[in-house]
Amino acid sequence: MLGSTKVSRLVLGLVSKWVTAEASVEFTLVNGEPGLVWYSRPGVIGGVMAFAVADGRITEAYAVVNPEKLTHLNATPEA
């Protein structure tokens, strides 16, 4: 997917699907790149995103939401 408008629409769609009263997001490094961990509810990782950045702009985004691929991560309970 290319273009800030298309990417923005995708992100808004994902946020509207994923965000609930129990959900939270933690910004962190993912494999050495800027990223985030999305908690579907306290202590339960719902997904991880990593971003490739060049010249101060996100050039690529990688997302993992498959629960089987997230089992190795240590979930931190969210308060």
Residue 12 has a pLDDT of 75
Torsion of CA 71, 11, 16, 66, to 10 degrees: -20
Q: Per-residue pLDDT tens for 23-34?
A: 888 899 998 999
The size of the chain, in residues, is: 79
pTM given for the model = 0.72
What's residue 79's pLDDT?
Answer: 47
pLDDT higher for 12 or 38? 38
